[in-house]
């Protein structure tokens, strides 16, 4: 993970913690009951076909799913395509999808094989922004209020683990909280 930033839920400017230290990030997430793990990254993940990628991570996936809990395991990927005039619109549409606060009936488990995205976990009186990048596995517990920003130039490959085929469907709270917090782009450029 590149970055963890903890902010007060009622004041995004009140930054309680900002760290790029892997050990601190792991400890802070664990203290909040958030599962975080690191898996090896492939050199050429972006050029690798999705079924091949899944095959490469077969052992890790089998270990994570030893109980058989996840019935649907797939890959979500998006890469910039500047040759396509519709790319900005596609990128914006993909980004907007989970940019507002929501929750799911099951854990949201994602392994980032490449690229980057940020989960914002609204945990009581704090918001924990966790910028995931290639090699990071994060699990947002079922029912946890959160949102996800893939940035203005979405570029990532993620293995997704679902218990139900519609496990990705979000229950949106209607709370505009996410609009008051730094975007992924802003988080990365902040001092």
**Phi and psi of 52, rounded to 5°?**
-70, -40
Cβ proximity to Fe ion: between 42 and 138 the closer is 138
Q: How far is the CB of 158 from Fe ion (least distance, A)?
A: 12
Q: Is residue 72 a known part of a binding site?
A: no
Q: Is residue 104 a known part of a binding site?
A: yes
Cβ proximity to Fe ion: between 106 and 108 the closer is 108
CA distance 49 to 152: 24
Site for Fe ion in 107-146 (CB under 5 A): 108
DSSP H helical ranges for 41-111? 50-56, 58-64, 87-96
Q: Which tokens sit at 156? A: 């990532």
Q: Is residue 146 a known part of a binding site?
A: yes
Q: How far is the CB of 20 from Fe ion (least distance, A)?
A: 24
User: Which of these ranges, 84-92, 102-110, 131-139, 159-167, lies near Fe ion under the rule CB under 5 A?
Assistant: 102-110
User: Which of these ranges, 54-62, 101-109, 152-160, 175-183, lies near Fe ion under the rule CB under 5 A?
Assistant: 101-109
Q: Which tokens sit at 127? A: 């918001």
Q: Which tokens sit at 117? A: 């995205």
The count of residues interacting with Fe ion (CB under 5 A) is 1
Q: Which tokens sit at 121? A: 């976990």
Site for Fe ion in 4-63 (CB under 5 A): none
How would you class 84 by CB atoms within 10 Å of its CB: exposed for 0-12, middle for 13-18, buried for 19 or more? exposed
CA distance 108 to 138: 8
Closest C-alpha among 63, 29, 16, 84 to residue 159: 63
User: Which of these ranges, 48-56, 83-91, 103-111, 183-191, lies near Fe ion under the rule CB under 5 A?
Assistant: 103-111
Q: How far is the CB of 124 from Fe ion (least distance, A)?
A: 18
Cβ proximity to Fe ion: between 48 and 178 the closer is 178
Cβ proximity to Fe ion: between 41 and 73 the closer is 73
Task: Calculate the alpha carbon distances from 115 to 11, 42, 83, 92, 133 in Å.
Answer: 29, 12, 20, 17, 5
Residues that bind Fe ion (CB under 5 A): 108
Residues marked as binding? 102, 104, 108, 146
């Amino acid at each position: 993970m590149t970055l963890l930033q903890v902010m007060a839920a009622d004041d995004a400017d009140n930054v309680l913690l900002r760290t790029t230290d892997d050990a601190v990030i792991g400890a802070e997430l664990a203290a909040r009951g958030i599962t975080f793990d690191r898996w090896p990254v492939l050199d050429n993940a972006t050029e690798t076909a999705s079924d091949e990628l899944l095959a490469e991570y077969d052992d890790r996936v089998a270990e994570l799913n030893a109980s058989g809990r996840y019935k649907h395991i797939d890959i979500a990927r998006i890469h910039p395509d500047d040759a396509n005039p519709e790319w900005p619109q596609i990128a914006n549409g993909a980004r907007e999808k989970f940019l507002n606060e929501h929750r799911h009936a099951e854990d949201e488990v994602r392994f980032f094989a490449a690229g980057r995205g940020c989960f914002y976990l609204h945990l009581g009186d704090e918001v924990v922004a966790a910028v995931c990048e290639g090699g990071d596995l994060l699990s947002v517990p079922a029912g946890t209020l959160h949102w996800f920003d893939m940035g203005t130039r979405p570029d990532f490959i993620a293995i997704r683990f679902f218990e139900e085929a519609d496990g990705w469907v979000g229950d949106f709270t209607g709370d505009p909280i996410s609009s008051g917090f730094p975007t992924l782009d802003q988080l990365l450029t902040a001092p």
